[in-house]
Amino acid sequence: MNRYEGRRALVTGGGSGIGQATVLRMLAEGGRVVAADVSEAGLADTVDKAGDVGSRLTTVQVNVADEASVRDGVATAVATLGGLDVLVNAAGILRSSHTHETSVDAFEQVLRVNLVGAFLMIRESIPALLGGTGSAVVNFSSTSAVFAHPYMAAYAASKGGVQSMTHALAAEYAKQGIRFTAVQPGSISSGMTDGSGASKQSSGPGLPDDADMGLFMKLAPALGQGFADPESVAGVVAMLASADGAFITGTEVRIDGGTHF
């Protein structure tokens, strides 16, 4: 299956987890991809895992929370690819804490990366996407945007914002040929989670020491296979941004193994 042959994609968060899995999936389907990430080591790992198809992979170090870094990174990606057909906003961070103990700086940091970062990437990419073929943007929301995930108010707010923004953008740019969709991952094992709902060290502090784990009893996948691999999401992302998703825009797809019915 070569749905991405001749297509040009930019994927943030491409140095780990679902972002990295998406990069590898699009490469495997024949695409040319620029993987963007704040972590140089993560990008090196992606290059290593790309193996034989790495000739179609380019990496760029980008901090999505920094406007200048985004502007330079997108410009580099577009110049490298000679245009842009697909943007995937997979970069994100998770911070967990008691809300009454959360500082404004900590709250804003999550919004800055997850929500403002997605906005900056989209804003800078739109001029190139307008000239692309079958142009599509896939944003990363989360099941936390619509279902209760305790101790993660900032994260939930940021992902709810991403979801609402996706709908607004889909309406604004539909007649200009850019599709906007979102995925809502849940119960996915990645660099952001370790399978218990707590974020890994690379993404921030875990759950509070006195967290009531009983509140997470409803957050188990109904399929009974435990947390899924990032590839479970990457396949859906690849579909949404391909010709197979040509009639899909302004909506989100929940990928959580039935955690939330």
Q: Catalytic site residues? A: 155
Coil vs helix vs strand at 21:
helix
- Three-state DSSP state, 5: coil
Concatenated DSSP letters of 31-57: -EEEEEES-HHHHHHHHHHHGGGGGGE
What whole-number distance in Å separates Cα of residue 225 and Cα of residue 227?
7
- DSSP string spanning 192-234? SB-SSSPBPTTT---S-TT--GGGGTT-S-TTSS-SBPTHHHH
Q: Do residues 114 and 92 lie in contact, with contact meaning Cβ atoms separated by under 8 Å?
A: yes
Which pairing describes strands 86-89 and 136-140: parallel, antiparallel, or unpaired? parallel
Question: Which residues are CB-neighbours of 58 under 8 A, at least 6 positions away?
Answer: 32, 33, 34, 35, 77, 80, 81
**Structure tokens, 242:** 């391909």
